[in-house]
Amino acid sequence: MAIIEVKNVTKTFGEKVALDNVSLEIPEGKIFGLLGPNGAGKSTLIRIINRITIASEGQILFQGHPISEQDVARIGYLPEERGLYRKMKVGDQAMYLAQLKGMSARDAAVELKKWFVRFDIADWWNKKVEELSKGMAQKVQFITTVVHRPSLMILDEPFSGFDPVNVDLIRKEILRLKDEGATVILSTHNMESVEELCENIALINHGKLVVTGGTDEIRRMHGEDNVEIEYTDNTLARRAIVVARPDVNAKLTELIGQGVTINSFKEVIPRMNDIFIKLVKGEEE
Amino acid sequence: MMNFKKLGIIIEREYLNKVKKKSFLLITFLAPILFAAICILPTVIMMGTKEEAKKVGVIDRSGIVLPYLEDNDVTDYIDLGPDAIADSLKSNLKATGIDVLLSISELDAESRSVKADCYSEKPLGMDTGSMIEDRINDAVEAYRIEQSGVENLEEIMAGVKSNVKLRSYTIDESGKETISESGIYMALSMILGMAIYMFIALFSGMVMSSVIEEKSSRVVEVLVSSVKASELLFGKIIGVALVAITQFLLWILLTGMLLGVAMGIIGKDKIMGLMSDDPTTEMVQQMSPDVNLPGQITLEDSLKAVTDTTSVSAGEPSGMEVIMSTIGNINLAEIGIAFLFFFIFGYLLYASLFAAIGSAVENEGDSSQLQLPITIPLMLGFFVALYAFKAPDSQLVFWFSMIPFTSPIVMLARIPFSVPMWQLVLSIVLLIGTFVACAWASAKIYKVGILMYGKKSTFKDLWKWLKMK
């Protein structure tokens, strides 16, 4: 079932069309990659799902009904351009944001303390934000996004600004939250993390939906339908050849006839990165 | 509809955040010290720094002035003889042991007058100077009277001299007369106009800074994903309004306490007495020496003068009584309520406009150009209010007290001179109506503006945002 259905959404700013009749479905309990070059309209779509801006046409369904204010309270949003009040204490600020999401002060305090311990930042509670490094502030922001146990999390470039250790920490938390049943919309330019985390994706360019569907299907769909055969030949050298699918059987028979050892046999799936570039460039041509 | 729980959370943060700031605490506690000092300082100065009498060396070549120069508290006159040489003395004042050298020329036969020059190392105090001048004029007048040859001219002249003082009463509907001092109304009018201008400018500016802070720190996008932009905007405006009210109450309380303490130490009679230290008092003293000196009037007496209207007709009221009577005659409750109303709605109007401007810029520096059209009416109101006392019911002042952008300030300046109820009501209704319209427009601009980054916004952009769905 889809937690979010985007139905024929169009958004115009004066003359400019930011989103042009976009429709897509975001399946519940999965991680959904929202891809597209800068200025494609991703942020506008995210803001419309969040009800920060209102679509000019079309609508957003949340679990089957038009999205309302109560639903927005079940969303956790980490914007790409994010910040905190510089002069405010970390703890006060996290409490404030959690309460705005509808948590009671008591629940917010309990849950936040847990997260602060988990992220090993418990002793920052009384520090001012301006004393924190960028990475530290990012951790606080991530916590405030997820503390109210949202059923949908919208994370816009969640890994930017983190060192590899913390990227790994955040990645594991995202997976853990997914396992607990949350849906995640991940907007990122990091194609490796898309391949690794996202089961479904949508690619938007110039305000239009280019492609949406399961990540594996899309990769296959855009493959050349080749197979890579790796074998060890008679001289004990390891070799790999790429063969178009119609010729596979013939080639295999030939190789086996030569007496080589087949080590592996796998479909060649293009990298997400290549598909992204191909599709975006293809759009422009 | 607004979510009042969230609105409450926003108001709370805005309020606590501002109230805990060092600058707020500093202003809240320093200003009352300043207010109290303004009230008490004159007393302290008068008490502590009684000047020693100045030694004035006199060279009187006319021969008529010297008898009129009598020693008093501030001056001791020393006759240096008509033949002393001013030039040599004045270059060497200290050695001769005098502070001031007064040189009076010989009588000029034609003008029947003298020339008087005064030399001192330090400038003469204004009072000393004018006192010496008065004495010399007395001498010259007496000389001329004597020269005129008219018999008993001195008595005639004394009989001719007149000293009428206009005493104004205000009559209320029941025909009750109360003596009033227009100076008090004037001062009150200027103070009220200035105070409300200051408050509106200060606290609307605070709202704008707060909007800019949220936008430039980029915290705003997370906020509007949790609450409506309008909730955020009005939470902010109300939060700052509460800060203003807190500060105002603390000022009144602290100033009152400080004055109370000071009166305990210095003595309330002295302070009350000196507060009335104005020309009226002196005149009243001179004219009717049997009336209580202000210094001896107790607070109870003064209050009695206010409540007891018969004291007005009973003899000459003292300056203090006039002032207290005037203050008593002013409807303080009406002024208080009007101040509150006009401050609240004037602030709300300007705060929502400033918030819209704040939403369009990323730092305070960029805001000055966009602020201009809002600052101009505010300043205009301020200047009209400053001069409103000259003609509180004139066409200009009337219209400025009706036009919503200047009315909070100008109306407050008019209020001490009493304004018809229909005008007050009309002005407030217009103000509230304008506020509602502006708040609606500002909320629309704000909603779009806070998410706009990059290029500098212009009025054209603001207009575009306003028209957006």
SS3 content of chain B, % helix, strand, coil (to 5): 70, 5, 25
Name residue B200's amino acid: I
Q: How far apart are CA A105 and CA B21, in angstroms?
A: 23
State whether residue B466 sits within 8 Å of chain A by CB: no
State whether residue A69 sits within 8 Å of chain B by CB: yes
Strand partners, A5: A25, A61
Nearest to A100 among B213, B217, B226 (CB): B226
Report the predicted TM-score, pTM, of the whole model to 2 decimal places.
Answer: 0.75
Residue B295's CB: how many other CB atoms inside 10 A?
14
Q: What does each C-alpha distance from B269 to B45, B50, B264, B297, B348 come to in angstroms?
A: 16, 19, 10, 7, 42
Q: Between vectors from CA B316 to CA B312 and to CA B318, what angle results, nearest 5°?
A: 90
Q: What does each C-alpha distance from B388 to A140, B101, B185, B402 come to in angstroms?
A: 55, 46, 11, 13
Distance in Å from the first CA to the final CA of chain B: 18
Residues A177-236: pLDDT tens digits? 999 999 999 998 888 888 889 999 999 999 999 889 888 888 888 877 788 888 888 888
- Nearest residue to B161 via CA among B153, B169, B172: B153
Name residue A87's amino acid: K
CB A205 within 8 A of CB A36: yes
Q: Using the Cα atoms of residue B328, residue B333, residue B336 and residue B341 in order, give the sign of their dihedral.
A: negative
Contact B225 A141 (CB under 8 A): no
* Candidate from A25-34, A136-145, A220-229 with smallest mean pLDDT: A220-229
Chain A residues with CB-CB distance to B17 below 8 A: 85, 87-88
Contact B227 A100 (CB under 8 A): yes
Residue B426: predicted pLDDT: 95
CA distance B216 to chain A (A): 9
Which two structure tokens, joined as six digits, stand for A219? 């990769």
- Nearest residue to B100 via CA among B56, B52, B53: B56
Residue B453: predicted pLDDT: 81
Residues B54-70: pLDDT tens digits? 788 888 888 888 888 88
- Determine the average pLDDT of the residues in A87-109: 93
Distance in Å from the first CA to the final CA of chain A: 36
CA distance A56 to chain B (A): 8
Count A/B contacts: CB-CB distance under 8 Å: 63
* DSSP annotation string for B248-267: HHHHHHHHHHHHHHHHHHH-
A235-253 core/surface letters (b: 16 or more CB in 10 A; e: else): eeeeeeeebeeeeeeeebe
Residue A45 predicted with pLDDT over 50? yes
> Which residues, given as ranges, of chain B have pLDDT below 50?
276-315
Cα within 13 Å of Cα(B372), Cβ side: 7
CA distance B353 to chain A (A): 22
Chain A residues with CB-CB distance to B219 below 8 A: 82-85
Q: How far apart are CA A254 and CA B389, in angstroms?
A: 109
State whether residue A144 sits within 8 Å of chain B by CB: yes
Top residue of A38, A43, A96 to mutate, by most chain B CBs within 10 Å, is A96
CB A224 within 8 A of CB A70: no
Contact B226 A101 (CB under 8 A): yes
- Nearest residue to A85 via CA among B164, B159, B213: B213
Nearest to B217 among A13, A51, A83 (CB): A83
CA B338 to chain centre: 18
Name residue B186's amino acid: M
Residue A160's CB: how many other CB atoms inside 10 A?
14
CB B6 within 8 A of CB B230: no
Residue B421's CB: how many other CB atoms inside 10 A?
9
CA distance A57 to chain B (A): 11
Residues A233-269: pLDDT tens digits? 888 888 888 888 888 888 888 888 888 888 888 888 7
Q: How far apart are CA B467 and CA B234, in angstroms?
A: 20
Question: What residues have CB less than 8 Å from B215, skipping those under 6 apart?
Answer: B358, B359, B361, B362, B449, B450
State whether residue A185 sits within 8 Å of chain B by CB: no
Q: Which of residues 17-46 of B touch A (CB under 8 A)?
A: 17
Residue A76's CB: how many other CB atoms inside 10 A?
25
CB A188 within 8 A of CB A33: yes
Chain A residues with CB-CB distance to B13 below 8 A: 96
Contact B225 A75 (CB under 8 A): yes
